[in-house]
A and B are shown apart, each in its own frame.
Chain A
């Protein structure tokens, strides 16, 4: 139950963004069923929107899949970061937990870990609730696309940034974490400017490079 309560804000944040995915997906040619299956099996947030964009532009199968994979490479870091807390958990439970690993479930579970009350059951609850919100939102968006119209009218553009902002405040709690977060922010905004110097970093790699760079700096400099 603890997990359900912790997951509720994620649920309510995912419904509108999932609905936006449902609307856009059906607009470019997905059936409602395809949109829902895609959300239910990939649960990939930004990765799914990127995929829609590329598909609309007529990209090939491999290009679409590669782009969503690279953009979600940060989940490799998340898995590694969570895993010391998951020692002794049976492989089957880990397999289920991995399925619902997203930016939001990760951040909520990590900050809950620090209170000491987190458990495998609470993490499973957070994941299940988040998944339900994402899939339900997609279904609503795909089925009611014509009623919803342009999703950006409802402030959906800011649903993810708002959630990320709150999670950032929750996670950057001490001075060292704040310094690392600030470095990551500088890298994320500064690195694309190198394009004018001839060093073009593909945008799908940006988050991975900026956060690994900042974490490395933190581990080396801040003790």
Chain B
């Protein structure tokens, strides 16, 4: 893999990732949005997190893992519970990783 190719990928990725982030903020914050659009937007955060979690947990690495021997699923449930009880992102993330390592070891 040539160094030029790597630098080109890095440069274009930087541009592309900024292009999907900045224009929507710059443009939409200067518009007056109709009520249905505002309501639609209010559902976006929960929808994105729901689809991200479901994908990561039930299709890790892009392959279905719909069994009870799925360490992602078995670790996600206590992680959700710990966040619900403690309201600590940090605590829930670290506990979740530890639980995941433990469960994966147990499942062999």
List residues of chain A with CB under 8 Å of any chain B CB.
8-10, 12-13, 16, 28-31, 34, 37-38, 41-44, 47-48, 51, 55, 61, 64-65, 68-69, 72-84, 86-87, 89, 91, 94-95, 97-99, 101, 103, 106-108, 110, 154-172, 176-178, 180-189, 192-193, 203, 206-207, 210-212, 214-216, 218-219
Contact = CB atoms under 8 A, between A and B. Distances in A.
B40 A216 contact: yes
A77 B44 contact: yes
A165 B76 CA distance: 7
Nearest to A16: B97
A132 to B, nearest CB: 15
Given A9-B93, A167-B89, A188-B55, 17 more contacts: A8-B90, A41-B10, A72-B17, A75-B20, A76-B20, A84-B38, A98-B18, A158-B72, A161-B56, A161-B75, A162-B75, A165-B79, A166-B92, A172-B50, A184-B51, A185-B53, A211-B44
Judged by DSSP, the binding face of B is: helix
Given A43-B17, A76-B24, A86-B29, A214 B43 contact: yes
Interface residues of B, number: 77
B48 A185 contact: no
B53 A164 contact: yes
Interface of B: 1, 3, 5-14, 16-30, 33, 36, 38-60, 62, 64, 71-72, 75-76, 79-80, 82-84, 87-90, 92-98, 100-101, 104
Contacts of A160: 56
A81 B22 CA distance: 12
B47 A184 contact: yes
25 contacts: A38-B9, A48-B13, A61-B12, A65-B13, A72-B20, A77-B24, A79-B28, A80-B25, A83-B28, A86-B25, A95-B22, A99-B18, A99-B22, A158-B71, A161-B72, A162-B97, A165-B53, A181-B50, A183-B47, A184-B46, A185-B51, A185-B54, A214-B47, A214-B50, A218-B43
